[in-house]
Amino acid sequence: MLKKSFFTLLVILSVSVSAQVKWPAITQQTKPWTRWWWQGSAVDKPGLRAAMQLYQQAGLGGLEITPIYGAKGAEDKFIDFLSPDGWKCCSIP
């Protein structure tokens, strides 16, 4: 009985060792992404560029942009997300 139990344990261990997950190579697509909440009037090109560089240096692969209401006191700077001005603002090389 002891031999049979030992053999069963040995088989289970060998299967679990050979079934280890092989992680994919690190690419832009396999890095984690995050959601980025934008207040419509609180974004500008220099600020976006600086924030995107910090996100990239932290190891993020991308950003999902979620536009929300504008910042109080900066209503005159509000940028409609999918407007031509919005595309100019967020088309950062």
Number of domains in the chain: 1
Kindly state the percentage of the chain with pLDDT values over 70: 72
> pLDDT tens digit string along 5-16?
666 766 676 665
Kindly state the percentage of the chain with pLDDT values over 90: 11
Containing structural domain, residue 46: 23-90
CA dist., res. 41 & res. 44, Å (int) = 8
**Dihedral sign from CA coordinates of 76, 80, 86, 89:** positive
User: Is pLDDT at 88 greater than 80 in this prediction?
Assistant: no
10 falls within a domain: no
User: Is pLDDT at 93 greater than 60 in this prediction?
Assistant: no
6 falls within a domain: no
Grade residue 58 by pLDDT with cuts at 50, 70 and 90: very high
35 falls within a domain: yes
pTM summary value: 0.58
